[in-house]
Amino acid sequence: MGTMLPCLKKNPSNSTLMGTLFILLLTSACFTDFQHVNDKNGLVKDDLQYGGSNDSGGVLNSLQARFDMQHIELELKILPASKSIEGSALLDVLVVEPLEEILLDLDSLLIVSKVHLSVKGTGSIPSRFLHVDGKLHVYPSLLLPSQSLVSVNVVYGGQPLKAAKAPWDGGFTWSATEDGHAWITTTMQGEGGDLWFPCKDHPSDKAERVDLKISVPEPLVVAANGKLISSSKHSDGWTTFHWRTSYPISNYNVALNIGPYEWIESKYTCIDGTVMPFHFWALPESRKKAEEALPEFKRHMAFYERILGPYPFRNEKYGVVETPHLGMEHQSIIAYGNKFRRGPHGYDWLHHHELGHEWWGNLVTANDWRHFWLHEGLCTYMQILYAEERQGMMAYHHAMYVDRKRIKSEHTLVPAEPASFDLMDDQVGEDVYFKGSWILHTLRYLIGKKDIEKVLHRFAYPDSDLESTLEGQAIRFAGTQDFIDTVHQVTGRNLDWFFDVYLYNAPLPRLIERLQGAQWILEWEVPEGCSFPMPLEVELGGHVTQHKMEQGRLVLDAETWSGAVLDPQCWILMENRSALMGNPYGESFD
């Protein structure tokens, strides 16, 4: 038996923490003392290490908390020969509290040559700027009043960060096709859009609309988010593609995909009857395979719509674009680089996974990276449901069994404090996928398949009226507690004990067993102070019975139950799974 750790419960909400931080800043420190305030109060453990321009999220800077990103318009020339970009970004921000500085994120590899500020109704106002350490500080000559709409025009350019290992270590990928054409993509989920444009690099704020006016040399084509408004050929051999999305969008989802693409047009009828464009931008050499893949991709779409509700961005399009890296869930233009391979359960898992993020990530977005399991864990479980739908329960359990081996659970799945992407990557790692998915698997054991699907549907669309909206009204931020609330609403049960153990404590439950006289005693070991009344299935002679463990304890007659197998279908996420299965009478599972 291991040392009992105290049970950790749900944590204070972001807003409480941010409120505290804001008051501290106002009362005890100037902004240059930000680091000191954080350390002194223990709000951030290591923000020397986390939060730079190559990171994303974490504690939201109080200056950035005082404005809301409305609109981003990027007018950029992409220069493959020099692997550089040049142009401007026009940002419209709404001031929500009086603001003496507009603080933006922009990687220091890019050089800012000019910043111009104007306030709607007032016009142009003088300003200074300082671009240092990945931050673009814009100082207006007057205090910007609450509710003012401010336009910030930033002229900039340079060689943006090259992706070291896209899509995991992001940046620009400057690749080439077989016949030597430039093939360029962006991926920066972990680093944030500030690697190539000024923005507020925090998951809690989305631009409401984005316009991309991207110029590339012929014969290159730009595939991006939303709708193509125009493409204009210029006499100098360049073409400007104007893409627009009118849906709120996370900064990391704003994506460029540039290559000699062929545009394969297709249509899809959504579950609500909306007919939308369903397009694939493929390299010429992949055209045939891309055309052949479209029917399967549409089956993936139908699966998600049936379980979760309508595809959220159907007023614009669903797009897939071939990329030199594996893939990324860029909103309405999914990056696809899986080379049309099928996974062990007979379907293109990469496309299926990235498409799932249109609901888990793009429709419902974690307001802090510490809730990242809501994106990845839910997507991973959707894939396992798809394996079940295609191939039955054997495939379902096989997929769960394979994923179980990848769970580490060395840290809590949901950290106590706001977390940057890097912190999540370092500490939680792949648990956001596999522990997240296994939590849903064990939850299904408790509440049944019908309710788990209902939970997923209601978490995607809390209100059935939202399912009929076309203009992004259903897009929302959520945290882990919102998911728990949905489970409680759907089931009418309070399962806080379940979520406390699995989400807010790192050690997995252990099933401790011992023989005492004629008794076979089974007990759940969980962190001290947690309760864990997880019922247990026991198989004897091919017959499975479920036993309540309301006090976390079960006593069986040892002789009667000799040879029994505990949790024979592996429903319960617990420590030492494989040792337990092979050793039902063992006293030590280490």
The DSSP secondary-structure symbol of 584 reads T
Of 257 and 505, the one with the shorter C-beta distance to Zn ion is: 257
Residues making contact with Zn ion (CB under 5 A): 376
CB of 503 to Zn ion, least distance (A): 19
Residue 144 DSSP class: B
**Cβ closer to Zn ion: 335 or 534?**
335
Minimal distance, residue 169 CB to Zn ion, in Å: 15
* CB neighbours of residue 200 within 10 Å: 27
Closer residue to Zn ion in complex, CB, 212/254 = 254
Nearer residue to Zn ion within complex by CB, 52 or 167:
167
* Closest residue to Zn ion in the complex (CB): 376
Nearest CA-CA partner of 194 in 272, 244, 136, 247: 136
CB of 11 to Zn ion, least distance (A): 24
Taking the complex as a whole, the smallest distance from the CB of residue 129 to Zn ion amounts, in Å, to: 36
State the minimum distance, in angstroms, from the CB of residue 353 to Zn ion.
6
Q: What amino acid occupies position 321?
A: V
Torsion angles phi and psi, residue 220, rounded to 5: -70, 150
Nearest to Zn ion of 129, 304 (CB atom):
304
Between 296 and 430, name the residue whose CB sits nearer to Zn ion: 430
Q: How far is the CB of 203 from Zn ion (least distance, A)?
A: 14
Whole-number minimum distance, CB 368 to Zn ion, in Å?
17
Closer by beta carbon to Zn ion, 106 or else 163: 163
Which of residues 69 and 382 has its CB atom nearest to Zn ion in the complex? 382
Q: Determine the Cα–Cα distance for residues 190 and 27; give it in Å rounded to an integer.
A: 33
Which residues on adjacent β-strands are paired with residue 262?
282
Least Å distance, CB 102 to Zn ion, is 32
Nearest CB to Zn ion, comparing residues 208 and 376: 376
CB of 126 to Zn ion, least distance (A): 45
* Min dist. Cβ of residue 375 to Zn ion (A): 6
Helix (H) or strand (E) holding 241: strand 238-245
Measure Cα distances from 290 to 68, 181, 223, 280, 297 in Å. Answer: 39, 19, 15, 7, 10
As beta bridge partners, residue 158 has 85, 110
From the list 362, 352, 455, 338, the residue with the least C-alpha distance to 399 is 352
Q: Of 528, 512, 533, give the one whose Cα is nearest residue 576.
A: 512
Minimum CB separation of residue 380 from Zn ion in Å reads 8
Name the token pair of 311.
């595809």
Which is nearer to Zn ion, 102 or 301 (by Cβ)? 301
Q: If phi over 0 gives left and psi between -120 and 50 gives alpha, with beta otherwise, what is residue 160? A: beta
Residue type, 427: Q
- Nearest Cα to Cα of residue 378 among 492, 458, 266: 458
Backbone angles phi, psi at 404, to 5 degrees: -60, -35
86 or 376: CB nearest Zn ion: 376
Residue 585 falls in which region: left (phi positive, over 0), alpha (psi -120 to 50) or beta: alpha
- Cα dihedral sign, 131-107-475-421: negative
Q: How far is CA 332 from the centre of its chain?
A: 15
Q: Angle 449-460/287-308 helices, nearest 10 degrees?
A: 100
Is 241 exposed, middle or buried (CB count within 10 Å of its CB: 0-12, 13-18, 19+)?
A: buried
- Residue whose tokens read 């995991």: 168
Closest listed residue to residue 131, CA positions, set 193, 194, 86, 186: 194
Picking from 546, 304, 375, 374, the residue whose alpha carbon sits closest to that of residue 445 is: 546
- Nearest approach, Cβ of 328 to Zn ion (angstroms)? 8
Q: What is the amino acid identity at position 378? A: L
Q: Which is nearer to Zn ion, 191 or 376 (CB)?
A: 376
Q: How far is the CB of 427 from Zn ion (least distance, A)?
A: 18
Nearest residue (CB) to Zn ion, 129 versus 434: 434
Angle, to 10 degrees, between the axis of helix 349-356 and the axis of helix 373-391? 130
Tell me how far, at minimum, the Cβ of 177 lies from Zn ion, in Å: 26
Sort strands 275-282 and 318-322 into parallel, antiparallel or unpaired. parallel
Q: Which is nearer to Zn ion, 129 or 359 (CB)?
A: 359
